[in-house]
Amino acid sequence: MTAPSFPTFASLNGAPRLTGTPRLLVTSVILTLVAIGGTFLLDPYRNYQLAVIAAYFCATAGLTMLVGLTGQLSLGHAALMAAGGYGYALTANASTDAGVDGVARFLVSLVGAVVVAGLAGLLLGLAAARLRGPYLAGLTLAVVIALPAVTSVFSGVFRGDQGLQIAYDGVPPFLRTLIAVEQWQAWVAILVTSVTVTVLAGLRRGRAGLRMRAVHGDETAARLSGVPAGRVKVFAFTMSSISAGVGGALLCFVTQSVSPGAYTLAFSLLLLVAVVIGGLGSIGGAALGAVVVVLLPWLIGTATAALELPADVEQRLSGNVSVLVFGLLLIVVTAVWPGGIAGALGRRMPRARDQVAAGTPVAPADAPPPAVPVTTSTSSVSHSIPTETER
């Protein structure tokens, strides 16, 4: 019995191309370099927005994997982001008191954020493995609602509504003459997000992703097939929580603070809206959702300020217009594109891609259909048609 082979190259019209994990890694590196190079074309505020988009992308990528692949509805991912943010801030302050700073402090603090968010996700995952539907949604909803109360009760640690502030993380000395602090923050956010999302994409494409889809499709059939449905759910919730925690840590790194007021129920629902608009289960859709969450409120605020409305009217519209637009956008997208923006873009791609991947030449749109050759033998069982001489 021969061992199964896992090819990493496939032929495309005679030219080899990468497939599987190598292709994923190469794509990740290329996109990361393009994003880092793009920071040189942006002003400081746009780089700040790019860093925030990267942080939100971590959260939406984990959430779309959780909801889209396993069917576990989470309304409390904002609380998991807050867990990562508080874990980062507490570890960063402890490292500062110990005399650790710079890149070492950032890495240690990031590990602290991953540990805190992972433990929180593990506890929620153990409960989620026994709940489903509205019960699971209610549990996660209670977590995000209870966040301000927890920070108030343990105000000595979390400083209540004021939150925690961390020491300033500036640009490393060897880069201070080249880039500004906002560009450095964008670089860090892009690199960390690239690693996080690449891991999630690898899980989605591998055996773990197949098990998640099996549990989502039919949990009973998955159990009969030997798939441990409970463990799959716990694993998915934990990885999604870690991804959200990394996003919270990046937000804390960028804003130099973390507070419960930034992770409200409205923000948690906004993350869910983002993954639905982008496309459930799609990493690209999660990226599109993160861009919409960050840029749409800014565009609405800019348009509202350009109208020169009275101060009281502008104050009433502040925040409410964004919620209204997000609600309308959610209705339109779900009605017109049930698969989200990513699904709509995927359907519009030409079928020529599949034909080229299969090695079939692509004919022009106005070319006549190819002639079907008449064969004299269809299988080993059939006999050839005798010619006139043989007769």
Q: What is the DSSP letter of 390?
A: T
User: Does any domain span residue 233?
Assistant: yes
User: 17-31, 114-128, 156-170, 275-289: lowest mean pLDDT where?
Assistant: 17-31
User: Does any domain span residue 354?
Assistant: no
Q: Using 50, 70 and 90 to split pLDDT, how confident is the model at 5?
A: very low
Helix 320-336 and helix 340-348: axis angle, to 10°? 40
Q: Using 50, 70 and 90 to split pLDDT, how confident is the model at 372?
A: very low
Asked whether the predicted pLDDT for residue 356 surpasses 60, the reply is: no
Which residues pair with residue 9 across a beta bridge? 18
- CA torsion, points 118, 120, 124, 126, in degrees to nearest 10? 60
Extract the tokens encoding 345. 């873009």
Q: How many structural domains comprise the chain?
A: 1
Specify the higher pLDDT residue, 245 or 301: 245
Q: Cα(86)–Cα(334) distance, rounded to whole angstroms?
A: 35
Q: Cα(19)–Cα(24) distance, rounded to whole angstroms?
A: 8
User: Does any domain span residue 292?
Assistant: no
pLDDT of residue 366: 44
Q: Cα(390)–Cα(27) distance, rounded to whole angstroms?
A: 61
User: Does any domain span residue 291?
Assistant: no
Give the percent of the chain with pLDDT over 70: 81
Asked whether the predicted pLDDT for residue 188 surpasses 90, the reply is: yes
pLDDT tens digits for range 150-163: 888 888 888 888 88
Specify the higher pLDDT residue, 240 or 24: 240
Instruction: Please classify residue 44 by burial: count the beta carbons closer than 10 Å to its beta carbon, then call 0-12 exposed, 13-18 middle and 19+ buried.
Output: middle
pLDDT tens digits for range 83-126: 999 999 999 999 999 988 888 899 999 999 999 999 999 998 88
User: Does any domain span residue 235?
Assistant: yes
Q: Cα(387)–Cα(246) distance, rounded to whole angstroms?
A: 75
User: Does any domain span residue 355?
Assistant: no
CA distances from 200 to 34, 244, 372 (A): 20, 12, 46
DSSP 33-94: HHHHHHGGGS-HHHHHHHHHHHHHHHHHHHHHHHHHHH----S-HHHHHHHHHHHHHHHHHH
SS3 content of the chain, % helix, strand, coil (to 5): 70, 5, 25
Detail the DSSP E strand segments found in the chain: 9-12, 15-18, 164-165, 257-258
State the residue for tokens 């996660």: 140
Span 269-280, mean pLDDT? 87
DSSP 129-167: TT--THHHHHHHHHHHHHHHHHHHHTHHHH-GGG-EE--
CA distances from 21 to 6, 299, 341 (A): 10, 38, 25
Q: Using 50, 70 and 90 to split pLDDT, how confident is the model at 319?
A: low
pLDDT tens digits for range 40-60: 999 999 999 999 999 999 999
pLDDT of residue 248: 94
pLDDT of residue 353: 52
Q: Using 50, 70 and 90 to split pLDDT, how confident is the model at 19?
A: low
User: Does any domain span residue 126?
Assistant: yes
79 lies in which domain range?
21-264
pLDDT of residue 345: 76
User: Does any domain span residue 152?
Assistant: yes
Specify the higher pLDDT residue, 183 or 15: 183
Extract the tokens encoding 313. 């009217």
Q: Which helix (H) or strand (E) holds 120?
A: helix 102-128
HSE at residue 360, side-chain half, CA atoms within 13 A, is 10
Q: Cα(276)–Cα(316) distance, rounded to whole angstroms?
A: 28
CA distances from 165 to 107, 201, 254, 261 (A): 18, 33, 11, 14
pTM of the model: 0.81
Q: Cα(78)–Cα(140) distance, rounded to whole angstroms?
A: 10
Asked whether 6 and 20 are in contact (CB, 8 A), the reply is yes
